[in-house]
Structure 1
Amino acid sequence: MTLGILWLALTLLGALQTQAQGSAPNLIPAPSLLRVPLQPNFNFDQFQGKWYVVGLAGNAVQKEEQGRFKMYSTTYELKKDHSYNVTSTLLRDQHCDHWIRTFVPSSSSGQFSLGNIHSYPQVQHYTVKVAATNYNQFAIVFFKKTSGNKEYFKTTLYGRTKELPRELKERFVRFAKSLGLTDDHIIFSEPIDQCIDNR
């Protein structure tokens, strides 16, 4: 009897391990939020407005699979409580798609969490940090999400225009690599005109 229970327990453990290995990609571990810089003296008003997503890097981004991706835009609209209505506009299957969410400020200026997080049952934590910006040209923004037992993180290079100088792209690559990412996890977007200039 005892031997039968032990055998059943070992079989179940093996099945669980196999299932876990089959369903979980090998993600680069997310860095501690303390390792991610925060823009000093963050200015809420100057940060609002439209940004183009020029670059993207993350532990779930694969250059081989995604290659070049079409540029999309993200607009930050400041509310009286210093939270932002954030609207991303992208071209998907020849249609304009809009994704709207709210970023709520934390005790650290320039750091935000996802508002109304209970509307996203698969997400336990979601943090946004503005790592660097000069407000009128570029911004580097860090995102970290806990979903189930996995931690995903990404960083975006925003531009007020669709093209940015090589030096800013190189700075973005250095920042992404400082988080543990490799060239295989860093991609730059292909500028488009459809949808993203409408808003």
Structure 2
Amino acid sequence: MRSRVVLLFAVLFLGTGAAVPLRETNHSRVQENFDFNQTLGQWFSIGSAGDSLWFETLMGTSRMIKFILSATEETNKFKAILVHEWNGTCINMTVYYEYLESQQMFKYIPVPGYDAHIAIQVGLIQYQEFAFLIYDSQIQGRKTKSVALYGRTRKLRTEINEQFKEFVLRQGIPEEMIMFLPDKGSCSGNDDIWSTGRR
């Protein structure tokens, strides 16, 4: 269960319980003129921040995850293949998302039997460099809010990390709940090639 929560928190368009009502999602936070297709390709989880007590259990133990976003045959639906390390072994995991264009949000599609529904907004994005994502989630009846930083490469400019901190603070999450994920092990990959991931 813990590994699944870590992965869901880290994945682009990558949190989780009953669905968060749409009225609780603040659409004023989203990136204007968002282009879904430009998000496809390779990303790395760089930083995370959350307002939940369970987030504290992840601090100091989480690490960078590499994943590839690609389109599916269904309109506005895509999949993310995550590559992560668990007990010394590299594991691939596939998760699915739907982009609700009229509501300017993404929706995590939970696996059968897993109570995980997440509303996701793109707060800020530079398609070939980084993205800030906002998660409004409900995990087993507990509502949480989190923000994640993703990069096209495993290391981003210092200015972007500082901008992420400022963005997190504006969401009402305290600075001590911000963490930057270490690049440990071979599972995050050694290549920084930007792949489109288009089918």
- The 5 Å alignment of 1:3-152 reads 32-34=24-26, 37-60=29-52, 61-62=55-56, 66-67=59-60, 69-80=62-73, 81-108=75-102, 110-115=104-109, 117=110, 119-123=112-116, 125-152=117-144
After TM superposition, give the deviation of residue 34 of structure 1 in Å.
0.9
Deviations 1:83-133 (A, max 9, x none): 110122211211112332111111437511122x3724423x311111111
- Give the 3 Å change call, closer, same or farther, for CA 128–190 of structure 1 in structure 2: same
Q: Which amino acid aligns with 1:169?
A: N
- Give the 3 Å change call, closer, same or farther, for CA 144–87 of structure 1 in structure 2: farther
Aligned positions, number:
166
1:175 is aligned to: 167
Q: Which amino acid aligns with 2:62?
A: F
Contact kept in structure 2, 1:68 and 1:187, CA below 8 Å? no
> Does the alignment pair 1:191 with 2:172?
no
- Give the 3 Å change call, closer, same or farther, for CA 88–109 of structure 1 in structure 2: farther
CA distance, structure 2, for counterparts of residue 67 and residue 118 of structure 1: 27
Greater RCO (CA < 8 Å, at least 6 residues apart): 2
2:20 is aligned to: none
Structure 1 residue runs without a partner (length 5+): 1-31
- SS, match of residue 70 in structure 1: coil
1:9 is aligned to: none
CA distance, structure 2, for counterparts of residue 120 and residue 180 of structure 1: 32
Deviations 1:53-79 (A, max 9, x none): 11111123228x622632111321122
CA distance, structure 2, for counterparts of residue 83 and residue 154 of structure 1: 22
- SS, match of residue 119 in structure 1: coil
CA distance, structure 1, for counterparts of residue 178 and residue 184 of structure 2: 19
TM-score, normalised with respect to structure 1:
0.73
- Give the 3 Å change call, closer, same or farther, for CA 91–148 of structure 1 in structure 2: closer
Deviations 1:113-164 (A, max 9, x none): 122x3724423x3111111111001011122221333112221111111111
After TM superposition, give the deviation of residue 41 of structure 1 in Å.
1.5
TM-score, normalised with respect to structure 2:
0.73
Query: Aligned-pair RMSD on alpha carbons?
Result: 2.5
Q: Which amino acid aligns with 2:106?
A: F
Larger radius of gyration: 1
Q: Which amino acid aligns with 1:46?
A: Q
After TM superposition, give the deviation of residue 187 of structure 1 in Å.
0.3
Structure 2 residue runs without a partner (length 5+): 1-23, 192-199
Identity %: 21
Q: Which amino acid aligns with 1:67?
A: G
